[in-house]
Amino acid sequence: MEIKADVCNGCGQCVIVCPVQAIKMVQKKAFIDKDLCVECSVCYRSADCPVNAIRMKKLKWPREIRIPFSNVITTHKITGIAGRGTEEMKTNDVTNRYHFGEFGVSIELGRPGLGTRLGNIELFTTKFAEIGVIYEEKSPVTALIIDGKGHINEEIKNERVLSAIIEFKIPTEKLARILKVIREIENEIDTVFSVGIVSRIEENNTDEIINQLSQLGFDVRPNAKINIGLGKP
Amino acid sequence: MKLGGTKIITHTLHRKGKENDLKQDYVLLAMFASGINDNYDDSRQKLMKIAEIMNNHNPVNIMPKFGWSVSSTITATFDNIETVKQVIRELKEEDFGISIVISGLISEIKNVLKDLNLDIHTVHFSLGGNFGRKELLPNEKILEITTMCGHHTVSPQSISSYVELIKRGKMTLEKAAEKLTRPCVCGIVNTSRVLKILNSLVKEYKS
């Protein structure tokens, strides 16, 4: 993103709407901190700039990687859908991506709202490599992993994005080890993250999974995403 | 608002709020399974029909209409479970074969499914709280609004700024709620819930 200083009238609307506080007023003109900016385009779409001073610039590698992880209306080359996630459990009644005897895990780095450097992904993926997980092949994060040890491309590690979702599935017996890693990384990471657990459900019995997670030391929120099984192949 | 036509996926897990507040916050989502449902000639028609059914039940927010003809997903937000039940009943009767996901209170959704003789297929649970540097986050009330857009297009400082303007009589609650809803292109920010939270924030500021 770019704000033309010679056009900006200093109204400050873009400063207010920036989700990551990357825009500041400097000498009565709005100024984008390029390091903090995640290229989400919210300022361009929602600030109602009265003088059209906000521009979307064509970006070069590696900065361009910020766009698909931050700008919701940009379609990922890998997933074919806009946004950072995949179809995951939303279409599981059609795809059967997650079976009984497995858990899906989604770890969204930078959520809610703080953003993340892509390098944080490696904190998790190098440890998950030791446990053995099956990554969601259409996840944009999976495409960043360059080897079996969970490393990601060095060039992109410092790129800052609004959020990045590590999506994978595991056999049920590996859940405790995965959650242990999550607890360990909590103390190392420089941002926040949110965690979701996907499970097939038998006879509407959600309590069994909630109790299992509780025994492992994790509370479950009362609200969830529920696929109600109306989809057909 | 400027917006290019594209497929849009939504992001409705991890919404914050107390159980009582979440009783007024449900998001319905219909989605093609890529490479499967969208192979049929009438798929787009089906998705458009689902959008019309959702729209006929007065959602508090819905994906903008121009998205209906290009998106692989349709989303709408409702402020009560009874309306959700009516929509799901209609979708079940129509038997479109498109995946439907309800985001909201597990206990309430289970009751609806029981009444309609439907079963849960898969659940995406949200583990409680946040992880990592929680001390960097804004307060819970602000998060209740910002987490309604899972893509985090609603900025925390816009909420504080609008509350200040409302307090000084320079912006109405309704205008502030509308402005906070606009950045979210999926139509999943619950406008009526935003109004209530804004109202309580204004009262807090005044006291």
Question: Is pLDDT of B17 > 80?
Answer: yes
H/E stretch holding B62 reads: strand B61-62
A232 inside domain: no
B125·A113 Cβ contact <8 A: no
Question: Is pLDDT of B20 > 70?
Answer: yes
Q: What is chain A's mean pLDDT, rounded?
A: 93
A197·B125 Cβ contact <8 A: yes
For A202, other C-beta atoms within 10 Å of its C-beta total 10
Best CA proximity match to B73, nearest among B99, B92, B109, B102: B99
Mean pLDDT calculated for residue range B163-191? 93
Residue A10 sits in a domain whose CATH number is 3.30.70.20
**What was the pLDDT predicted at B5?**
31
Q: pLDDT grade, residue B3 (50/70/90)?
A: very low
> Domain span at residue A16?
2-57
**What was the pLDDT predicted at A123?**
97
Class of the CATH domain delimited by B2-115: alpha beta
Mean pLDDT calculated for residue range A88-113? 95
Claim to verify: residue A94 and residue A195 sit in the same structural domain: yes
**What was the pLDDT predicted at A81?**
52
Strands (E), A66-219: 102-109, 116-117, 134-135, 160-161, 164-171, 192-200
A188 inside domain: yes
Question: Are A141 and A165 contacting, i.e. CB atoms less than 8 angstroms apart?
Answer: yes
DSSP code at position A129:
H
**What was the pLDDT predicted at B7?**
45
Mean pLDDT calculated for residue range A38-63? 94
Strand partners, B1: none
Question: Are A144 and A118 contacting, i.e. CB atoms less than 8 angstroms apart?
Answer: yes
Q: How far apart are the first and last CA of chain B?
A: 35
Question: ipTM exceeding 0.85?
Answer: yes
Q: Which long-range contacts (CB under 8 A, 24 or more apart) does B198-201 make?
A: B198/B145, B198/B159, B198/B162, B198/B163, B198/B166, B198/B173, B199/B173, B200/B141, B201/B141, B201/B159, B201/B163
Q: pLDDT digit string (tens) for B120-169?
A: 999 999 998 789 999 999 999 999 999 999 888 999 999 999 999 999 99
**What was the pLDDT predicted at B185?**
86
Which residue blocks in chain A are alpha helix, DSSP H?
A: 13-17, 42-46, 92-95, 121-131, 175-186, 207-215
Residue keyed to tokens 């500021």: B205
> Using CA atoms, how far apart are residues A139 and A87, in angstroms rounded to an integer?
9
At position B202, the amino acid (one-letter code) is V
Domain residue spans of chain B: 2-115, 134-206
CA distance A91 to chain B (A): 5
> If you measure CA to CA, which chain A residue comes closest to B3?
A45
**What was the pLDDT predicted at A152?**
95
> Using CA atoms, how far apart are residues B202 and B197, in angstroms rounded to an integer?
9
Claim to verify: residue A35 and residue A109 sit in the same structural domain: no
DSSP code at position A91:
G
CA distance B39 to chain A (A): 10
Q: pLDDT digit string (tens) for A30-47?
A: 999 999 999 999 999 999
Q: Which residues contact B35 (CB under 8 A, 6 or more apart)?
A: none
Q: pLDDT grade, residue A73 (50/70/90)?
A: confident
Question: Is pLDDT of B9 > 80?
Answer: no
Residue A222 is nearest to which of B12, B91, B107, comparing CB atoms? Answer: B107
Best CA proximity match to A182, nearest among A108, A115, A116: A108
B118·A228 Cβ contact <8 A: yes
Mean pLDDT calculated for residue range A130-144? 92
A184 inside domain: yes
**What was the pLDDT predicted at B40?**
81
Claim to verify: residue A91 and residue A51 sit in the same structural domain: no
> Using CA atoms, how far apart are residues A186 and A123, in angstroms rounded to an integer?
10
Question: Are B153 and A83 contacting, i.e. CB atoms less than 8 angstroms apart?
Answer: no
Claim to verify: residue A101 and residue A196 sit in the same structural domain: yes
CA distance B24 to chain A (A): 12
Question: Is pLDDT of A76 > 90?
Answer: no
Claim to verify: residue A124 and residue A46 sit in the same structural domain: no
DSSP code at position B32:
P
Claim to verify: residue A168 and residue A111 sit in the same structural domain: yes
A204·B185 Cβ contact <8 A: no
Q: What is chain B's mean pLDDT, rounded?
A: 91
Residue A87 is nearest to which of B33, B97, B102, comparing CB atoms? Answer: B33
Domain count for chain A: 2
CA distance B84 to chain A (A): 13
B123·A225 Cβ contact <8 A: yes
Mean pLDDT calculated for residue range B183-197? 93
Q: pLDDT grade, residue B6 (50/70/90)?
A: very low
Q: Which has the higher per-residue pLDDT, B40 or B164?
A: B164
Claim to verify: residue A39 and residue A137 sit in the same structural domain: no
Structure tokens at A142: 């999976």
Q: pLDDT digit string (tens) for B57-96?
A: 999 999 999 888 888 889 999 999 999 999 999 999 999 9
